[in-house]
Structure 1
């Protein structure tokens, strides 16, 4: 199994893609720490997989620091971090002129600053492991320029840029940093997305039709493995061919 003996932290793991990623990593033998602001949801996910659940607010630097200190004290090591937690629900469907400042700031605070702070908080453990891996979850909206979704699209574009910079900073310690950019997946987390946007993706993919969160898990498990270091700094649109990157 690709992740046997490796301790992996996944944020945003209570539902949707995060929970599917946890299931995929568990199947590959990982020892999991699952984090989410939804204490009840993440506890249920952890119980299902025999993992440990922790509560974290990615908008709160003190909460992020407390999480990393807890992992250091309880697990003693960390081999992989999946920065999946983000604000997405109800951030779209409006013209850029109509976005309120508080909404913009909240999305950047969680999606961008939270990703940076979580990586910073875990960096010492990842470096010490000798084969640390960070997988950032962005979105292909930042690759094709999705309209009426500017706050979210801008935040995920920033995550892609951070991935490249972090790869160079952490590479000397053999820590690989990569990024996946999925499209719309069929999970409970995307039920609010208008049907027209779902159809746009399903009709426009090279492999037509819906895409489940489970279809992304194998890629992420590999990126968290010791074999994936050669891919550091790369952004991968795991969207069944809706967007191609050259």
Structure 2
């Protein structure tokens, strides 16, 4: 149970990358706060299982759609599906992303095709998902972009991913000014390496760098992030629009 000190009851939230890992944990926190959810992920079987489990455990409606963030037509079809079922969207968590070569290649050796794919999914996918759903945002809509503290401290040998998350942070600030007049808030959360299935391939030395370098030493788990994300989806979070929160136990201070 991921308890929150406020209520998201009655709000409708879309979470990309919601099939597993951090996205799944965010979905659980929102469900515990009474949120109706729609999960989107390219991992169809895992996504449907997660949606069914969360709905059964927390007693809230949870939909799932298979969405490929690299394909604009997939994102547009998803937005049409949401519009047909929901009158409005109160929250969007842009969590879906890919991370490759963590602690791996130097910048000279990054493959151009890899670079393009990372930017396509992490940057363009975040923009297109926000654009596709923005007509459905309620007057108190909230968007949370999942960035990374790699973009705050300049992680080496991770250029494609770091650049993509830096772009997400920049988009968050620009969109805050565009969406603010509509009463819509958008913020970014920048965690460090979070222990999930998606980071099992990360070299041990990279995990050690983070775990030993945090002001509060130790690993970071999804449960350490989700409370902040859930709060940013709430109505009182509007005053934090445009802000980047490095939720990383003190590895990076801003």
Report the Cα offset of residue 89 of structure 1. 4.0
What RMSD in Å do the two structures reach over aligned CA positions? 0.9
Q: Is the 8 A contact 1:143 1:243 kept in 2?
A: yes
Checking the alignment, whether the CA contact within 8 Å between 2:25 and 2:222 is kept in structure 1 is: yes
1:40 to 33, 45, 63: 45
Match of 1:139 among 123, 138, 148: 148
| TM-score of the superposed pair, with normalisation by structure 2 | 0.94
Tell me if the contact between 1:91 and 1:151 (Cα under 8 Å) persists in the aligned partners.
no
Corresponding residue number in structure 2 for 1:63: 74
- In structure 2, what is the equivalent of residue 24 of structure 1? 29
Q: Is there any run of 5+ residues in structure 2 with no aligned partner, and where?
A: 1-5, 56-61
Instruction: State whether structure 2 residue 205 is matched by structure 1 residue 181.
Output: no
Question: 1:207-234 CA distances to partner (integer Å, 9 max, x unpaired)?
Answer: 1101111111100000000010000000
> How far off its partner does 1:2 sit?
1.9
1:3 to 8, 13, 22: 8
Decide whether the 8 Å contact of 1:59 with 1:110 is kept in 2: yes
| Per-residue deviation, 1:112 | 0.3
Check 1:14–1:90 CA distance in 2 against 1; reply closer, same or farther (3 A cut).
Answer: farther
Of residues 114, 119, 125 in structure 2, which corresponds to 1:114?
Answer: 125
- Residue aligning to 2:171: 162
| Aligned position for 1:172 | 181
| Aligned partner (choices 68, 74, 88) of residue 85 of structure 2 | 74
Match in the other structure for 1:191:
200
TM-score, length basis structure 1:
0.97
The structural deviation recorded for 1:103 is 0.2
- Asked if the contact 2:102–2:157 (Cα under 8 Å) also holds between the matched residues in 1, the reply is no
Specify the alignment match of 2:253 in structure 1: 244
The question of whether the paired residues in 2 share the 8 Å contact of 1:14 and 1:41 is answered with yes
Secondary structure of 1:4's counterpart equals coil
Alpha-carbon shift at residue 90 of structure 1 (Å): 4.2
Of the three residues 3, 13, 17, the one matched with 1:12 is 17
Q: Residues 102 and 203 of structure 2 are in contact (CA less than 8 Å); yes or no, is this contact kept in structure 1?
A: no
Q: CA deviation at 1:92?
A: 5.1
Aligned to 1:203: 212
In structure 1, stretches of 5+ residues that fail to align are none
Q: Against the structure 1 CA distance between its residues 193 and 242, is the aligned structure 2 distance closer, same or farther, given a 3 Å change threshold?
A: same
Cα distance per residue 1:25-82 (max 9 Å; x no partner): 1111110000000000110110111111111000000000011111110122100000
Aligned equivalents of 1:193, 1:157: Cα separation in 2:
20
Q: Secondary structure at the match of 1:131?
A: strand
